[in-house]
């Protein structure tokens, strides 16, 4: 009777088919052509050949680790064969191994990691040797083995994509961690399914196996989502660090693109023709030809608007496009290094692995972001963006407005773009296609000779149609005016044709004509059409006509004010918002006593040449207006030199006014109205740029001119600052490494002014910012008493921003309407939270909240934060400290430590006193351990409250004792994933060895010298803490008494807060404050800590709008104290290491002197103990172990290598 064929699970077959097709799509046909005929024996033989090749290169690796894998695959193949009959699926289980090992063997470190991963797969395949034949017909079992198949192929897929990626060797060390996380997830899935197989093999566990199968499915989906989430979070943290390293900000580019693209979207259909252009369509296609395209057009033809529409279309089509727009009003956008930074940041947002590489190589490598370094980095990254080995990927770059850059920068950009296209095309993995949009330029033309060109001059037909559509849509907005003139459709069409003819392909000219028609008076359609016909043909002549109409009814004073308005628009350091601009105009007179902001109607007077963007910043209607105003054709000549002097006067006048307003008593309410009305809206801009205007003026003259109005105002400001802030330290007392501007020497004839400028420059330096961040992380009175008094300019800015923050919190305010208050908030919300580091783009354009500002400022600090998700450990002082932290807490399989060589001094000590070497001084070791336990022990900031805390935990006493049930259940040192989950050791409990355990005898002796000092400090600390058992109760009673004294008639949300809950919060703050100040040189007394905690809680209890915000502020303070504590610990440990090194160096020098004296007396050094020398090379022996990975008995020599050869190699090594 023939045997019945086993039933095949449809779900299992579908799982295998999906996994096979996914891998088949990944591996190129060239690489997979031999897979169907590959047997497991072929793979064994290939492994032998690879081992021989590695041995020939003197890089022999132990291949015995693959033997269990091959044996397991052999048993697994017998089980899964029932699901693979009649298909090519089976061979793909082992065939890719050969290919992956051959490629990875070119880089030994990658080879080791991949071998390790494959060896772990074998652990899950062992069970199939026993269970395969018994359960191969079970449908549930078939699905489980299909999942094994999918996991194995998934491992092949990730390994293949990794080693086949262009430049994978370059980025191996930085990007392997991301792959390791995915590999570990696959291995964990196989392990869980292996446990499921074991359950199903037991008939008694059928129900449990069914539940386990459901749990595994849920875990698998959840784990994949978690891996992706962790990768995104880590990449986001690293991306922020890279932005800080680059000192880049994308807000300008976002504003530019938004402003330009709005013009295209307001008038639909006027730009769509560009996508039908044959050259544009060819450039958009995924073909390697036509990689460079130049969109060239005359002034005002709409090149930038067309570029934004092309970019928008490509993004909608899911094409990978990066872009940069150069606009003269944003000076940074025209800088070559800023263009490189912009492209790099957009490139990094595409690929998390590239982010990891740049972070490791540049940020942690502390490479300066110079132009040459950025060019090399981009050249390296572009070819390595390809992820799919089977297909060529494309990236498009759009650079607009290049003609607005200086000629040298134009040449640099075009040369670099040419290098990118040629380099990427030659590599084949990634094709780079570039579009440059600009006006005619000989620099660009010479460097793009032979490239494809789309000339808008030759597209006049399409432009005429687009301009007619634009005119038609604009005239529709004048419907009421045209209806009153009884203008019919035919006449309207004639006007449209006349405008199109007059514009001659220039959108800008058509806009000016339509603006002219909208603002002038006409009695008939014919009159309107003739007016269009009589308008000047040239653009500058049209500008002159418009400017003449503006000035014709103005007196000389008004004309000067119009010139001032144009000068501010043309030469401001950044585009100003409307209220900032009016404030600047008000202070341009040089009168600090000004009491009203400039009226808004002045913008309407000059409105024909100005426009207000969506973000309320002001600009010219086109960059050509600025060129016209500087040309001889202009009715009002605007010069950069004169404009910058006026701007400098305005900034200093604004600060002089601020001295009178923001240093008054807080009872003066008039200043709130002045701020609300926007009179001081220019203050943030003035604070940042007043020194630059002054120094530039001095540099332009070669010296400081005593008769200059600007210098007179500056000297007056310096005199008042020196008088009003006499307690501020001089610039000498706060000397730091901040490089000073060489132009300061030009102010040497005016020492008081030079002093104040120097103070202002240092006050916004990186050193000062780091000092301020350090201070703000500590709330102890001793730290505050040690802080320096802020300089006058910083004090004024702080006072102004505090006023703005107060007003932002108000729903109404006496003296202003609700509409005025809301408009104030829209204009100045970000002015309240600006960065304190000079030259940062965020110094004048701030953030929406204090949390965002603080996160940004911390990124400037020269400390390196851990980028692993959910890690709360404070930033590190060095790259090595960060690496040690990652290996300790985030690396599941850290590399084994190599055996360190023992120095001569220690070997001599060991030989002479072996017992002393084996048992170092116990008192020194115990002191070190106790000190580190004090450093690493912590009280939980969320569970320090007695009774019921916010987290619901019971609270340990302030004396550092805990009950056994409150100790860390995991034990060991601080856990960065839960920094608040550690506790101080109980009295008498031996602390865990953290630093002392890793010290050699020299280091321990070095620490021993500082033990008395540490003991004295700890003794002083303990004297401030009550030692009796009633300490906690006494503190609680003190807090309760204070709350009773405070509490009056409560209303609102405060009435619902229980006194015990407030007591718990205060107690929590006091406990964490004590821990944060442990290692301060002059920590506050316990009495002072209690006062600080009570005052802090009272302040936020009264000011918080609701209970959630109240609790949020408490939590923020606890986190701040916790970060302060870890910061102190890191500094303490760093000091310990420095003293250890100093002691070791001193001892080494002393030993060397002793050796020199012995040699002079005829005594040679003592011989080295033989056992120590043997230890020094023992770690090399495991690398020479060899084995067989075939099914036969392993020979004594490595595979394919005779015994004599291996002995010779060992001798050589």
Distance CA 367, CA 363 (A): 7
Give every strand in the sheet of 292-296, ordered side by side.
321-325, 393-400, 430-438, 292-296, 452-455
Mean pLDDT, residues 511-516 taken together: 91
Confidence of residue 699 (pLDDT cuts 50, 70, 90): confident
Distance CA 502, CA 506 (A): 9
pLDDT at 463: 93
Mean pLDDT, residues 181-203 taken together: 64
Distance CA 1130, CA 1118 (A): 18
Q: Check if the beta carbon of residue 566 is closer than 8 Å to that of residue 618.
A: no
- Report residue 596 as tokens: 């009203």
**Cα 888-893-895 angle, rounded to 5 deg:** 80
The candidate with the shortest Cα–Cα distance to 1054, out of 1096, 1111, 1118, is 1111
Residues 6+ apart with CB under 8 A from 671: 661, 662, 664, 803
Q: Where in the chain is the domain with CATH 3.40.50.300?
A: 247-458
The candidate with the shortest Cα–Cα distance to 1123, out of 1159, 1083, 1073, is 1073
SS3 content of the chain, % helix, strand, coil (to 5): 65, 5, 30
Phi, psi angles (nearest 5°) of residue 893: -130, 75
The residues with which 577 forms a beta bridge, in sequence order, are: 617
Distance CA 353, CA 350 (A): 9
Confidence of residue 815 (pLDDT cuts 50, 70, 90): confident
Mean pLDDT, residues 871-887 taken together: 78
DSSP code string of 401-425:
-GGGS-HHHHHHHHHHHHHHHHHHH
pLDDT at 895: 52
- Report residue 400 as tokens: 């607009």
Which of the residue ranges 61-75, 244-258, 576-590, 1063-1077 would you say has the lowest mean pLDDT?
A: 61-75
Which region holds residue 325: left if phi is over 0, alpha if psi is between -120 and 50, else beta? beta
Confidence check: pLDDT of 70 > 90: no
Mean pLDDT, residues 199-223 taken together: 62
Which tens digit of pLDDT belongs to each residue from 1085-1123?
A: 888 888 888 888 888 888 888 887 888 888 888 877 877
| 146 vs 215, residue with greater confidence | 146
The residues with which 864 forms a beta bridge, in sequence order, are: 876
Which tens digit of pLDDT belongs to each residue from 1012-1059?
A: 444 555 555 444 444 444 677 788 888 888 887 776 667 778 877 888
pLDDT at 1211: 37
Distance CA 364, CA 367 (A): 8
3-class DSSP state of 1213:
coil
Domain 247-458 falls under CATH 3.40.50.300: yes
Confidence check: pLDDT of 449 > 70: yes
Mean pLDDT, residues 350-379 taken together: 87
Which of the residue ranges 666-680, 844-858, 1194-1208 would you say has the lowest mean pLDDT?
A: 1194-1208
Confidence of residue 801 (pLDDT cuts 50, 70, 90): very high
pLDDT at 881: 82
Q: Check if the beta carbon of residue 653 is closer than 8 Å to that of residue 587.
A: yes
Residues 6+ apart with CB under 8 A from 1070: 958, 1035, 1089, 1090, 1092, 1093
Question: What is the pTM (predicted TM-score) of this model?
Answer: 0.64
Distance CA 720, CA 656 (A): 8
Which tens digit of pLDDT belongs to each residue from 75-93?
A: 788 878 878 887 888 888 8
pLDDT at 1164: 46
The candidate with the shortest Cα–Cα distance to 908, out of 1179, 1177, 1163, 1172, is 1172
Distance CA 832, CA 800 (A): 8
Confidence of residue 1011 (pLDDT cuts 50, 70, 90): very low
Distance CA 725, CA 616 (A): 37
Phi, psi angles (nearest 5°) of residue 452: -65, 140
Distance CA 343, CA 86 (A): 51
Distance CA 912, CA 705 (A): 78
Distance CA 203, CA 193 (A): 17
Q: Which long-range contacts (CB under 8 A, 24 or more apart) does 46-53 make?
A: 46/98, 46/101, 46/102, 47/98, 47/101, 47/1189, 48/1189, 48/1190, 48/1199, 48/1200, 49/1200, 50/101, 50/102, 50/105, 51/1186, 51/1198, 51/1199, 51/1200, 52/1199, 52/1200, 52/1201, 53/105
Confidence check: pLDDT of 581 > 50: yes
Mean pLDDT, residues 545-556 taken together: 90
Lookup result for tokens 């880089």: 107
Which tens digit of pLDDT belongs to each residue from 1049-1079?
A: 677 788 778 888 888 888 888 888 888 887 7
The residues with which 453 forms a beta bridge, in sequence order, are: 294
């Amino acid at each position: 009777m023939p045997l019945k064929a086993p039933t095949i699970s449809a779900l299992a077959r579908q799982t295998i088919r999906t996994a096979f097709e996914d891998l088949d799509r990944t591996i190129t046909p060239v690489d997979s052509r031999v897979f169907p005929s590959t047997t497991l024996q072929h793979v064994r033989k290939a492994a032998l050949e690879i081992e021989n090749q590695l041995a020939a290169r003197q890089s022999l690796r132990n291949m015995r680790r693959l033997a269990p894998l091959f044996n397991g695959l052999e048993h697994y193949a017998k089980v899964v064969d029932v699901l693979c009959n009649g298909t090519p699926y089976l061979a793909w289980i082992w065939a890719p191994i050969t290919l992956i090992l051959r490629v990875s063997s070119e880089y030994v470190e990658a080879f080791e990691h991949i071998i390790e991963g494959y060896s772990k797969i074998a652990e899950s395949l062992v069970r199939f040797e026993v269970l395969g034949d018994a359960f191969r017909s079970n449908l549930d079992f078939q699905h489980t083995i299909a999942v094994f198949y999918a996991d194995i192929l998934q491992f092949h897929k990730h390994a293949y994509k990794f080693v086949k990626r262009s430049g994978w060797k370059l980025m191996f060390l930085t990007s392997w961690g991301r792959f390791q996380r995915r590999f570990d997830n696959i291995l964990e899935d196989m392990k869980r399914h292996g446990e499921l197989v074991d359950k199903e093999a037991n008939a008694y566990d059928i129900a449990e196996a069914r539940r386990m199968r459901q749990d595994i499915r849920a875990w698998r989906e959840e784990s994949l989502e978690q891996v992706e989430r962790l990768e995104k979070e880590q990449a986001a943290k690293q991306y922020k660090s890279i932005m800080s390293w680059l000192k880049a900000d994308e807000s300008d580019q976002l504003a530019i693109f938004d402003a330009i693209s709005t013009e295209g979207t307001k008038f639909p259909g006027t730009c769509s023709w560009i996508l039908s252009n044959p050259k544009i369509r060819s450039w958009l296609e995924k073909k390697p030809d036509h990689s460079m395209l130049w969109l060239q057009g005359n002034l005002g033809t709409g090149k930038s608007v067309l570029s934004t529409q092309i970019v928008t279309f490509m993004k909608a089509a899911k094409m990978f496009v990066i872009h940069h727009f150069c606009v003269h009003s944003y000076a940074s956008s025209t800088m070559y290094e800023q263009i490189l930074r912009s492209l790099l940041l957009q490139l990094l947002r595409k690929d998390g692995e590239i982010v990891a590489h740049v972070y490791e190589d540049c940020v942690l490598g502390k490479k300066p972001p110079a132009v040459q370094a950025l060019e090399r980095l981009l050249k390296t990254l572009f070819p390595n963006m390809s992820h799919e080995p089977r297909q060529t990927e494309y990236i498009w770059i759009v650079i607009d407005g290049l003609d607005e850059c200086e000629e040298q920068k134009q040449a640099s950009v075009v040369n670099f773009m040419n290098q990118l296209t040629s380099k990427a095309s030659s590599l084949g993995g990634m094709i780079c296609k570039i579009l440059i949009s600009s006006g005619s330029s000989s620099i660009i033309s010479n460097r793009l000779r032979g490239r494809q060109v789309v000339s808008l001059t030759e597209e006049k037909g399409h432009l005429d149609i687009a301009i007619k559509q634009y005119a038609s849509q604009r005239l529709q907005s004048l419907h009421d005016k045209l209806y009153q003139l009884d203008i019919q459709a035919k006449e309207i069409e004639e006007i449209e044709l006349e405008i199109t003819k007059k514009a001659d392909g220039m959108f800008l000219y058509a806009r000016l004509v339509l603006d002219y028609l909208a603002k002038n008076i006409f009695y008939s359609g014919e009159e309107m059409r003739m007016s269009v016909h009589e308008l000047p043909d040239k653009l500058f002549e049209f500008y002159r006509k418009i400017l003449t109409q503006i000035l014709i009814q103005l007196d000389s004073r008004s004309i000067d004010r119009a010139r001032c308005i144009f000068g501010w628009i043309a030469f401001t350091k950044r585009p100003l918002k409307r209220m900032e601009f009016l404030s600047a105009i008000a202070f341009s007179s040089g009168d600090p006593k000004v009491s009203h902001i400039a009226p808004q109607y002045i913008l309407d007077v000059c409105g024909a040449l100005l426009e207000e963007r969506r973000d309320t910043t002001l600009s010219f209607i086109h960059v050509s207006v600025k060129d016209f105003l500087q040309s001889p054709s202009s009715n009002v000549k605007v010069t950069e030199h004169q404009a910058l002097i006026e701007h400098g006067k305005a900034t200093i006048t604004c600060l002089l006014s601020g001295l009178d307003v923001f240093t008054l008593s807080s009872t003066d309410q008039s200043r709130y109205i002045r701020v609300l009305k926007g009179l001081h809206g220019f203050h943030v801009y003035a604070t940042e740029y007043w020194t630059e205007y002054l120094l530039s003026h001095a540099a332009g003259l070669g010296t400081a001119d005593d008769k200059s109005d600007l210098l007179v105002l500056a000297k007056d400001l310096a005199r008042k600052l020196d008088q009003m802030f006499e307690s501020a330290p001089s610039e000498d007392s706060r000397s730091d490494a901040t490089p000073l501007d060489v132009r300061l020497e030009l102010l040497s004839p005016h020492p008081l002014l030079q002093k104040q400028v120097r103070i202002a420059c240092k006050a916004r330096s990186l050193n000062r910012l780091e000092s301020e961040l350090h201070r703000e992380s500590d709330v102890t009175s001793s730290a505050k008493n040690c802080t320096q008094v802020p300089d006058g300019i910083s004090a004024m800015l702080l006072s102004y921003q505090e006023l703005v923050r107060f007003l932002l919190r108000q729903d109404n305010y006496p003296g202003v309407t609700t509409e005025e208050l809301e408009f104030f908030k829209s204009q100045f919300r970000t002015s309240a939270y600006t960065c304190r580091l000079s030259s940062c783009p965020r110094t004048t354009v701030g953030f929406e909240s204090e949390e965002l500002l603080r996160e940004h400022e911390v990124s400037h600090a020269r400390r390196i934060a851990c980028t692993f998700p959910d890690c709360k450990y404070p930033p590190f002082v060095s790259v090595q400290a960060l690496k040690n932290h990652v290996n300790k807490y985030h690396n599941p399989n850290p590399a084994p430590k190599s055996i360190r060589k023992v120095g001569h001094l220690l070997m001599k000590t060991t030989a002479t006193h072996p017992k002393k070497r084996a048992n170092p001084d116990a008192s020194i070791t115990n002191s070190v351990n106790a000190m580190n336990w004090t450093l690493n022990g912590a009280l939980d900031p969320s569970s320090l409250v007695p009774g019921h805390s916010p987290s619901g935990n019971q609270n340990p006493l302030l004396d550092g004792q805990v009950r056994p049930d409150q100790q860390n259940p995991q034990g060991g040192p601080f856990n960065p994933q839960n920094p608040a989950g550690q506790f101080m050791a109980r009295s008498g409990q031996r602390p865990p060895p953290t630093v002392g355990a890793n010290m050699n005898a020299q280091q321990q002796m070095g620490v021993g010298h500082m033990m008395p000092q540490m003991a004295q400090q700890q003794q002083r600390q303990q004297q401030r803490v009550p030692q009796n058992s009633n300490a906690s109760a006494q503190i609680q009673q003190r807090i309760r008494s204070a709350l009773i004294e405070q509490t009056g008639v409560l209303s609102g949300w405060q009435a619902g807060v229980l006194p015990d809950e407030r007591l718990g919060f205060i107690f929590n703050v006091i406990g964490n404050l004590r821990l944060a100040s442990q290692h301060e040189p002059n920590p506050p007394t316990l009495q002072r800590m209690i006062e600080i905690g009570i005052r802090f809680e009272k302040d936020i209890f009264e000011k918080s709008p609701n209970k959630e915000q109240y609790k949020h502020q408490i939590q923020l303070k606890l986190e701040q104290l916790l970060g302060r504590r870890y910061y102190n610990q890191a500094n303490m440990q760093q000091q310990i290491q420095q003293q250890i090194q100093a002691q070791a160096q001193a001892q080494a020098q002393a030993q060397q002197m002793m050796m020199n004296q012995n040699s002079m007396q005829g005594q040679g050094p003592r011989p080295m103990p033989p056992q120590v020398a043997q230890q020094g090379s023992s770690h090399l022996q495991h690398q020479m172990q060899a084995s067989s990975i075939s099914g036969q008995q392993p020979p004594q020599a490595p595979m394919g290598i005779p015994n004599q050869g291996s002995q010779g190699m060992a001798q050589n090594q």
